[in-house]
Amino acid sequence: MQATRVGRVARPERKPSSAPASEEKAPVGPPPPLALPLERYVLVAWVLGRERAADLLSGLGASEEARAKELLACIAALPSARRQAKVAVEFGERADAAARLKALMGEAPEPLRGEIFRRLPPYHRTLFPGREVEPADADAPPALGALAERLIREATR
């Protein structure tokens, strides 16, 4: 039986570097312009590394970095629910929103199911072809509508 050996093999198509990697210098000059709005970068930095968000934004250009730190302070001052809503609005719906809405409608009792369907946007109503929009029930508690809106938000974002 032959032994299997693991190791590096020299690749002939690679050019050997003239200087070691530690001696290579980064190009000097202004950083490239941002492809996305600055607020999106700040939101991503906040979501990915709360404590390190300021450090993550330090690689931006001088003017963008100052503005980004101001935006970061504003976002950090928001209540958690507002921050989550801002992230959800900025980055859109979940990829599995349709499946989550179907599961929600399957688990909800009928009065809540009717209220959820009534508050769904038209493009989500197409997920339930057998349902019709019914007028609001006058006897339904007002909290039922608030609950339906909250469940829709949680299922889609």
CA atoms within 13 A on the CB side of 71: 19
Structural contact between residues 134 and 118, judged by C-beta atoms closer than 8 angstroms: yes
**Does 105 reside within a domain?**
yes
The contacts found for 93-99 with CB under 8 angstroms, 24 or more apart, are 93/156, 93/157, 94/155, 94/156, 94/157, 97/124, 97/155, 97/156, 97/157, 98/124, 98/127
Query: What confidence tens digit (pLDDT) does each residue in 85-144 have?
Result: 788 777 777 788 899 999 999 999 988 999 999 988 888 888 999 888 888 777 888 898
pLDDT score at 8: 63
Do 77 and 121 lie in one domain? The reply is: no
Quote the domain boundaries for residue 108: 96-156
Q: In this structure, are 61 and 104 located in the same domain?
A: no
Distance (Å, whole) CA 145 – CA 136: 10
- 12 or 107: which carries more pLDDT confidence? 107
43: pLDDT strictly greater than 60: yes
| Residue 17 scores a pLDDT above 70 | no
Residue 61 lies in a domain: yes
pLDDT at 102: 93
Residue 132 belongs to a domain: yes
* Side chain identity, residue 14: R
CA angle 38, 89, 75 (to 5 degrees): 50
pTM of the model: 0.48
**Domain count for the chain:** 2
79 and 104 assigned to the same domain: no
pLDDT of residue 54: 86
pLDDT at 3: 60
In a domain, 119, yes or no: yes
> 72 and 114: one domain?
no
